[in-house]
Amino acid sequence: MKLKNYIYLVLFSCLFPAFMVAQTSTTYLHCGRILDGTGGVMTDKTIVVTDKKITSIQDGFVGAAAGAEVVDLKDRTVMPGFIDLHVHVESELNPKAYSERYTMNPADVALRATTYMRKTLMAGFTTVRDLGGSGVNISLRDAINTGYVEGPRIFTAEKAIATTGGHADPSNGRSKKLSFDAGPDAGVINSPDEAWKAVRTRYKNGADCIKITATGGVLSVAKDGQGAQFRDQELEAIVAAAKEYGFHTAAHAHGVGGMQRAIRAGITTIEHGTLMDDETADLMIKHGTYLVPTLSAGSYVAGKAKEPGFFPAIIVPKAIEIGSKQKEIFTRNYKRGVKIAFGTDSGVSPHGDNAKEFGYLVECGVKPMDAIISATSTAAMILGQEKALGQLKPGFTADIVAVKGNPLEEITVLEKMAFVMKEGKVVKE
């Protein structure tokens, strides 16, 4: 090759590396025990990962090809990366949480949220569904997707949709001087037409799903944490608009009236479901609605409500009442046949403690394997990612985690994550 041509080639490769031949990365995971995310169990296998995908699962501990990396997980239980279907990426409950909304700038919220997401990823949760924030959640999702920030992939509702004065009305709890009449742009609606506009605004802003507050909330600065907060026509409009824009839907709900209206309207998941009765459980079974129980949040707020000054006084009785009933009612409805999917409400409970939810589920009668499936293939299906996430299978994204011990015998080992791979990249070993 002539010197001039060689120089041109070197300059071209430096200036335009995307046009050069891409280098592939291959990793061999030698796995002692595999729980594949659907109920299957395998032993002594090698998972071969090329770039971001699982390319094969082979018998035995296969010798690596030249240039490939080998990870020894022979004494570990290997599973798909976990999916938490209910988090709030922008915040974490603390005694100053109600004043911070007046003192923190969006940049402050975003920078602090990066630490929450790193904790979540290190805990083995490679995907989360964020169910409501200020809009910073969109930017954080995009920053993670482009590699600027380390964290789980985020599917976000952007701003939750509420009614005037309802749970998630951003003007609640303010003085008259600081309050405002929130509308669809701020996620507050009072008619079917406004419901359509609110969903379309979430689409415009880049949301991945729709979250509504079908009842009052424990942590909102309001007396009622149970009553229904949407009319049937408003709920039907939200679900219809969401379907038209390709969104699945989630409904925060504690009391039965709001739950039943949301279920009949066609909501995808009920979040919390704290005071669900037999009639409501049967309605969920009939409509195929999933319950995301968030037992972690109930346990956490019930404990914090006993600490003087942690919550505003109006919240304390709600937190104590809801927290004391949640596990008992969930156990009854789960045994009745209500389908469940995994979610913690992290942001209410601390980020990074997500895996404690597994223990609460098992404590309430869920089999360990079923608890794991609720956080893998079931959660992926709800997100519309059943062909990419939540399973250890060739062709699926290489989100892979491992723990020491057997979670089918002792579920709490999932709280001590030993290995995390996201999209073929080892982030914790």
pLDDT in tens, 319-334: 777 776 889 999 999 9
Looking at the structure, tell me whether residues 313 and 414 fall in a common domain.
Answer: no
DSSP 362-401: HHTT--HHHHHHHTTHHHHHHTT-TTTSSS--TTSB--EE
Residue type, 135: G
CB 420, CB 124: distance < 8 Å: yes
- Whether residues 253 and 351 fall in one domain: yes
* 77/91 same-domain check: no
What is the band of 169 on the pLDDT scale with cuts at 50, 70, 90? Answer: low
Instruction: State the greatest distance between any 2 C-alpha atoms of the chain, in Å, as a whole number.
Output: 82
What are the structure tokens assigned to 54, written together? Answer: 């699982």
CATH number of the structural domain spanning residue 177: 3.20.20.140
The reply to whether 26 and 172 lie within a common domain is no
Q: Are residues 205 and 304 in the same domain?
A: yes
Instruction: Return the structure tokens found at 130.
Output: 């964020």
Range of lowest pLDDT (18-32, 75-89, 119-133, 274-288): 18-32
* Residue 170 pLDDT exceeds 70: no
- Are 221 and 325 part of one and the same domain? yes
Least confident of 45-49, 201-205, 255-259, 305-309: 305-309
Residue 57, domain extent: 3-81+391-428
Q: How many domains does the chain have?
A: 2
CA distance 398 to 56: 11
Question: Hey, what are 156's tokens?
Answer: 């976000």
Pair 260, 209 in one domain: yes
Whether residue 140 sits in one domain with residue 55:
no
Same structural domain, 326 and 281: yes
What is the side-by-side strand order in the sheet with 339-340?
A: 210-213, 249-253, 269-272, 290-292, 339-340
pLDDT tens digits along 28-84: 999 999 999 999 999 999 999 999 999 999 999 999 888 899 999 999 999 999 999
Q: Is 206 exposed, middle or buried (0-12, 13-18, 19+ CB in 10 A)?
A: middle
Instruction: Give the tens place of pLDDT for each residue, 200-248.
Output: 999 999 999 999 999 976 665 555 557 788 999 999 999 999 999 999 9
Residues 322, 359, single domain; the answer is yes
pLDDT computed for residue 317 by the predictor = 78
Identify whether residues 55 and 200 lie together within a single domain: no
Asked if residue 331 and residue 229 are part of one domain, the reply reads yes
Would you say residue 86 has pLDDT above 70? yes
CATH number at residue 33: 2.30.40.10
Average pLDDT over residues 348-358: 96
